């Protein structure tokens, strides 16, 4: 069944924290290095865990689905900490300090082949781990990878990180809900042979949705990425990067569809199939690293 997402989604969750706190963390990371900054984010993660009941509640719902049992407070803390650690690591990726990390790549040749052929593609990602790790080794620039999304909900973090690398804004395409200009900009990038990463696990304002089974329970997924891919007539790949302590990122890339086909007479069923396929692959990787799931709201909410 197709539905319109209500106001009670992730877009209504205000960005927590302060410009001062974010700036302090980035300053420490730049001046003192990753080990010292990692101690600071431990304290920040503890603060979020103890003082934000909404974060605890969302993490508890997630672990209940992922592991089938309620998590301990320590498990919730580690979940929040993983998010804080991956945000911190973005500082170092933006500064080109790739030697701090161990990077494993599975399926990377797909992206290389696309680049060498001059073809553009849509890279379906999720808020699982870190897609920023795809920059490691300078591959983001070499392969012309840009991130597409709605970024106003994390304006403070993105602004602070942008000061580390002023050119980072050119690698991001901000989209406004219902904007035709955004769609045209995306089409131009694809035709220029660029690779555009778009997350498929969050629902924006006025997005249409379909329901697919995710960890044994129906969840809603936006149809936007599939409609966009169908319009662009380009290949689609499923990508991501799972974080492992203390400094490893396991990147993956696998074919999703050579073309997204949405026949007029079977449009709804086709969207349902693509959403189910996406949910199945997302669940596959989320099971490998459940503490890398960074959607801190009730993903299965029917409101």
Question: Are the C-beta atoms of 101 and 251 separated by less than 8 Å?
Answer: no
Confidence of residue 158 (pLDDT cuts 50, 70, 90): low
- The β-bridge relationship of strands 102-106 and 248-257 is parallel
Q: What pLDDT score was predicted for residue 36?
A: 93
Question: Which of 63-77, 111-125, 192-206 is least confident?
Answer: 192-206
**Cα distance between residue 77 and residue 74, in whole Å:** 5
Q: Can you give the residue ranges of every domain in the chain? A: 9-292
Return the biggest CA–CA distance within the chain. 60
Q: 164-217, pLDDT tens digit by residue?
A: 665 554 467 767 666 667 788 889 999 999 999 999 998 875 578 999 999 999
Sheet with 145-149, edge to edge strand ranges? 102-106, 248-257, 236-244, 121-125, 195-199, 145-149, 172-174
Confidence of residue 157 (pLDDT cuts 50, 70, 90): low
Q: What is the mean pLDDT of the chain?
A: 86
**Cα distance between residue 14 and residue 294, in whole Å:** 15
pTM: 0.89
Question: Are the C-beta atoms of 274 and 228 separated by less than 8 Å?
Answer: no
| Residue 64, CA distances (Å) to 52, 71, 82 in order | 19, 7, 18
**Cα distance between residue 226 and residue 262, in whole Å:** 9
User: pLDDT over 90 for what percent of the chain?
Assistant: 63
Question: What average pLDDT does range 74-90 have in this prediction?
Answer: 94
- The β-bridge relationship of strands 217-222 and 121-125 is unpaired
Question: Are the C-beta atoms of 216 and 261 separated by less than 8 Å?
Answer: no
| Residue 44, CA distances (Å) to 220, 225, 290 in order | 31, 33, 21
Q: What pLDDT score was predicted for residue 15?
A: 46
Sheet with 208-214, edge to edge strand ranges? 3-4, 208-214, 217-222
Q: What pLDDT score was predicted for residue 120?
A: 95
Question: What average pLDDT does range 246-274 have in this prediction?
Answer: 96
pLDDT over 70 (residue 116)? yes
Helix, coil or strand: residue 147: strand
HSE-CB for 188 with a 13 A CA cutoff: 7
């Amino acid at each position: 069944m197709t539905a319109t997402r209500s106001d009670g989604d992730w877009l209504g969750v205000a960005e927590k924290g302060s410009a001062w706190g974010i700036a302090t963390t980035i300053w420490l990371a730049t001046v003192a290095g990753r080990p010292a900054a990692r101690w600071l984010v431990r304290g920040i993660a503890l603060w979020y865990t103890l003082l934000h009941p909404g974060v605890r509640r969302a993490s508890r719902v997630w672990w209940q689905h992922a592991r089938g049992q309620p998590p301990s407070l320590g498990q919730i803390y580690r979940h929040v900490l993983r998010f804080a650690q991956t945000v911190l690591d973005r500082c170092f990726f933006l500064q080109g300090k790739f030697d701090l990390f161990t990077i494993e790549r599975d399926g990377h040749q797909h992206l290389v082949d696309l680049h060498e052929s001059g073809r553009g593609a849509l890279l379906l990602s999720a808020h699982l781990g870190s897609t920023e790790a795809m920059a490691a080794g300078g591959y983001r620039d070499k392969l012309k990878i840009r991130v597409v999304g709605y970024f106003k909900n994390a304006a403070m973090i993105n602004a602070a990180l942008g000061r580390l690398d002023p050119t980072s804004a050119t690698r991001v395409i901000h989209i406004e809900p219902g904007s035709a200009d955004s769609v045209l900009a995306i089409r131009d990038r694809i035709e220029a042979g660029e690779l555009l990463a778009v997350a498929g696990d969050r629902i924006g304002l006025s997005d249409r949705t379909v329901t697919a089974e995710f960890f044994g329970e129906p969840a809603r997924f936006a149809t936007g990425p599939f409609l966009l891919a169908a319009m662009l007539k380009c290949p689609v790949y499923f990508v991501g990067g799972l974080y492992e302590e203390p400094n490893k990122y396991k990147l993956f890339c696998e074919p999703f569809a050579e073309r997204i086909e949405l026949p007029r007479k079977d449009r709804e069923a086709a969207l349902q199939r693509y959403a189910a396929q996406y949910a199945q692959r997302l669940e596959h990787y989320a099971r490998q690293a459940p503490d890398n799931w960074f959607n801190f709201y009730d993903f299965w909410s029917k409101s």
